[in-house]
Amino acid sequence: MNVERMPNHAASGEVVVSGIAVGKTFADGTVIALDNTTFEIKRGSFVSLVGPSGCGKSTLLRLISGLITPTSGQISVHDTPVTGPRRDISMMFQKATLLEWRTSLENVLLPTEIAGTPTKADKNRALDLLKLVGLGDFAFSFPAQLSGGMQQRVALARLLQTGADILLLDEPFGALDEFTRERLNTELMRIVAEVGATTIFVTHNISEAIFLADQVFVMTSRPGRVAKIVDVDLERPRPLSIQTSPEFNRLVEDVRVTLGAV
Amino acid sequence: MAEAAQSGPTKASAGPSRSLRNRRLMTHAGIFLTLIIAWELASRAGWLDPLFYPRPSNILNSFWLIYFKNGNVWEHLGVTMSLVFMGFVGGSILGIVLGSLVGLNGLVRRFLKPYVIVLEATPRIAVAPLLIAALGFGATSKIAIIMLVCFFAPFINTLSGVMNVNAEKLELFRSLGASKWQILRKLVLPDAVPIIMAGERLALTAALSGALVAEFIQRDQGIGSLILVYTRNLNMASSFACIFTLTILGFLIFRGMELVDQYIAFWKYEAGRERVSAKRRRAMRS
Amino acid sequence: MPDSRPSRGYRFLDAMVRFVPHLVLLIVLLCLWEAAVATGMITSIMIPRPSAIGGAIVELYVTKGTIYKHFFITLTEAVVGFCIGAAIAVSLAVCSSLSDVFKRYVIPYAVVLNVTPGIALTPVVIAWFGYGMGSKMALAAILCFFPIFVNTLTGLVQIDEDREELFKSLGANNTQIFTKMRVPAALPLMFAGLKIGLTTALIGAVVAEFAQATDGVGVLMSRFSFQLNMAASIATLLSMTVIGLLLFYTMEFLDDRIVFWRRESRRAAASRARARSWQSQIGK
């Protein structure tokens, strides 16, 4: 596999994403989407943002990506302030958002095309990434020929093709059925561990948030803020059966109490 | 095929403020007036031959002539519009009835398909001289031409509306033990109404065009022959006055069809839903 | 991947099996028609026998071949008119999609043009552009303008929030957003408009020929009609159908190739073609 390896997760302890007193107010100034939030995310770690609708988790993700700018405070990535979309950050959405006139491979190559002209190496890397997400045989299929789960795999490969070391995922498998989602979550853990990326994952599913993450940011609404950071010390790799263990349930309980308490 | 061209004035979404709207309206008026004045001046300066490119002032004058002083346009307009109305009603009834019959019968549909393809590719208006030869000069052949050109859009749209009935709704009706007639009356036809109405809009536009072509060929009466005669006599100003009359008429037809659509397919529109729901509430009470 | 397409021979057989009942029905109908006229059940001179129409077709298309000159004149008028109208419509639509100000000041005029029955302009267009092919092309261009303009514009300005966000997050510039997202996304609607436009362009050419011309199938049609030569009229009408089918299927073919992702079979073919070109380029 030609995918470059980076030092394995959560080891170095270096902070790659940080926010200081970040706030975001929308439109007429009455809706506080995110209020005075300070956080740090370490290199190679997997962070889940969990909370009910309107808690600002998607807002926080979009602030980190640079798609929107904070009304107050500052977000830094690799010690430089985020002012707009940048190449070391890559984002994946709930919908696969593939271009239906492009094959899987060409969809994966889109980020490279936007950054410049793809080289032969880029093309081979895209093919390798499709193999990594289990779609080696479907590199030349068009989106309409793929199932919903396969389309999300292509989107995942496209996310990795950017070469960014910070991956932002906004409920990426939220629209898929339970079985497909569990399988893709397991693969996601394997893949981000393999490429050693820092991952921020938004979900409203508590078990999913804990199962995937090293740290869970529990967010509450009105105003949106991070109410608690729960460290997940479960061993990796994690089998699906870990979700029935007492430690796991204790963590679920912890998050649930935090969400219910406010 | 007939539904793709459906479009009209784009609605101003998320309307800008009133003052901005007014300012834009002024700019529009300004640009329009500038164009008109430039045309007038170009004509007076001799850059545009007024014989072929009539001056705006002359067109205005012609409006006055044909509407009030001579008043000759009314009669022609009346003739054309009554033909359009008869042909449109006849053609669209024929189209809707045949469209539902064909749409409901798979065998007929199969054997009719090649003819529909051939008919669709033929410029239907081209049959006009043939119909005039067969039915003679006069209103009959004109109505026949109009019926022919406005038959097709309602036919095709009814056909596809009836055929593309929602499978889940159909299952619901079957599970309720509905008869074929009940399914047609309570599900298939109401479901097809919006697309049939889209066909009707196209048909009415086509009807007007059909009437004009028939009048161009027969050259007896009606707004089409009036335009032809004026142009032949190089009275272009009057010709343009007639054409702009048709623009206004076209706009009225467009708006009229929109209103009819809002009345018939009321559930597609917020105002229509409210109106009918209030009416039914009142009916329930009494 | 296994190739699941049926073999060529099988497909031919399949087509024949489907085609034969249609042919039989057509022949039966024609025979009945012929018999009805022959036995005097239909007496009107306005309804010619199928055999008479057949004779007229043979004369026009084979023995004398008079139709071809007119056929190509009308075809040229319609196609050239269509190209002019389409070029103007697409460029105005592109400009309108790029600039809100441009759009705001062009759309009222486009709408006025739309609600005016374009056919009403026939005599004026002939006065302006003469009795030759120019006036026919002009009318064809005027008639096909609006459906192409409005469909292309609708296609270009449709907003897919998710795609917008994706392209922004990838840091795409406006040119990239336009060429890689908006244009391909607009193609299906644009082609729908082009197909309608091609049909209306043909109508424009024929109607202008009815009004005033010396050559073209429209002229031939009205000439035969006024001679009450119904058989020849119908034979001429057939040539218009042929032009219509020719134009329609040309457009359908282009639509199929360019907007290939809308159709199952074309997608599969495009998918195979790209896999092949990858093999030859990168080769592993």
Of the candidates B114, B127, B227, which has its C-beta nearest C123's C-beta? Answer: B227
DSSP state of B72: T
Domain count, chain C: 1
Task: Tell me the chain A residues in contact with residue C187 when contact means C-beta distances shorter than 8 Å.
Answer: 101
- In b/e form, how buried is each residue of C216-249, taking b as 16+ CB within 10 angstroms? bbbbbbbebbeeebbbbbbbbbbbbbbbbbebbe
Q: Note whether B246 contacts C117, CB cutoff 8 Å.
A: yes
Other residues' Cβ atoms within 10 Å of the Cβ of residue A158: 27
**Residue at C93 is within a domain:** yes
CA distance B14 to chain C (A): 14
Q: Please name the residue of chain C whose CA is at the shortest distance from the CA of residue B253.
A: C115
Task: Tell me the chain A residues in contact with residue C263 when contact means C-beta distances shorter than 8 Å.
Answer: none
Query: What chains are in contact with B, requiring at least 3 Cβ pairs below 8 Å?
Result: C
DSSP state of A145: G
**Residue at C51 is within a domain:** no
Q: Note whether B130 contacts C225, CB cutoff 8 Å.
A: yes
Chain C residues whose C-beta is within 8 A of a chain A C-beta are: 1, 160, 162-163, 165-172, 176, 180-181, 184, 187, 259-261, 264, 267-268, 270-272, 274-275, 278, 282
Judged against a pLDDT cut of 50, whether residue C6 lies above it is answered with yes
CA dihedral (C108, C112, C114, C118) in degrees, to 10, reads: -150
CATH number of the structural domain spanning residue C232: 1.10.3720.10
The boundaries of the domain holding residue C185 are 68-261
Query: Tokens at residue A106, please?
Result: 């060409």
pLDDT at B78: 93
Of the candidates A97, A113, A115, which has its C-beta nearest C166's C-beta? Answer: A97
Integer Cα distance of C248 and C265 in angstroms: 20
When the candidates are 1.20.140.10, 3.30.365.10, 3.40.50.40, 1.10.3720.10, the CATH number that belongs to B73-280 is: 1.10.3720.10
Integer Cα distance of B40 and C62 in angstroms: 55
Q: Note whether C184 contacts A101, CB cutoff 8 Å.
A: yes
Instruction: For residue B114, give every residue at least 6 positions away whose Cβ sits within 8 Å of its Cβ, in sequence order, or none.
Output: C22
Other residues' Cβ atoms within 10 Å of the Cβ of residue A137: 11
Q: Which helix (H) or strand (E) holds A25?
A: strand A15-26
Provide the residue-wise pLDDT of chain A in tens; the chain has 262 residues. Answer: 444 444 444 445 788 899 988 888 887 667 788 888 899 999 989 999 998 888 888 889 999 998 888 989 999 998 899 988 888 899 998 888 999 999 999 999 999 999 888 898 999 999 999 998 889 899 999 999 999 899 999 999 999 999 888 999 999 988 888 888 888 899 899 888 888 899 999 998 999 999 999 999 999 888 888 888 999 988 888 888 898 999 999 999 999 998 886 4
B145 to each of A85, B22, B92, B119, how far by Cα in Å? 61, 45, 13, 14
Integer Cα distance of A10 and C179 in angstroms: 41
**Residue at C52 is within a domain:** no
Angle ∠(B110,C188,B155) on CA atoms, nearest 5? 35
Judged against a pLDDT cut of 70, whether residue C283 lies above it is answered with no
C190 to each of C115, C118, C246, C262, how far by Cα in Å? 21, 21, 20, 13
C276 to each of A117, B212, C270, how far by Cα in Å? 21, 55, 10
Integer Cα distance of A89 and C158 in angstroms: 28
pLDDT at A262: 46
Integer Cα distance of B173 and B166 in angstroms: 11
Integer Cα distance of C57 and A34 in angstroms: 78
Query: Tokens at residue B133, please?
Result: 């030869």
pLDDT tens digits, C238-266: 999 999 999 999 999 999 999 999 888 88
Q: Note whether B126 contacts C221, CB cutoff 8 Å.
A: yes
Of the candidates C181, C259, C274, which has its C-beta nearest A140's C-beta? Answer: C274
Integer Cα distance of C73 and C205 in angstroms: 10
Q: How many CA atoms lie within 13 A of A256 on its CB side?
A: 7
A257 to each of A201, A213, A250, A254, C122, how far by Cα in Å? 21, 18, 11, 5, 78
Integer Cα distance of C134 and C212 in angstroms: 12
Q: How many CB pairs under 8 A join A and C?
A: 75
Of the candidates A67, A111, A115, which has its C-beta nearest C165's C-beta? Answer: A67
**Residue at C282 is within a domain:** no
Other residues' Cβ atoms within 10 Å of the Cβ of residue B262: 15
Judged against a pLDDT cut of 90, whether residue B147 lies above it is answered with yes
**Chain B interface includes C27 (CB < 8 A):** no
Kindly provide the ipTM of the predicted complex, given to two decimals: 0.85
Q: Please name the residue of chain C whose CA is at the shortest distance from the CA of residue B201.
A: C115
**Residue at C240 is within a domain:** yes
C210 to each of B158, C65, C268, how far by Cα in Å? 31, 21, 46
Query: Tokens at residue C181, please?
Result: 């997202």
DSSP state of C181: I
CA distance A90 to chain C (A): 7
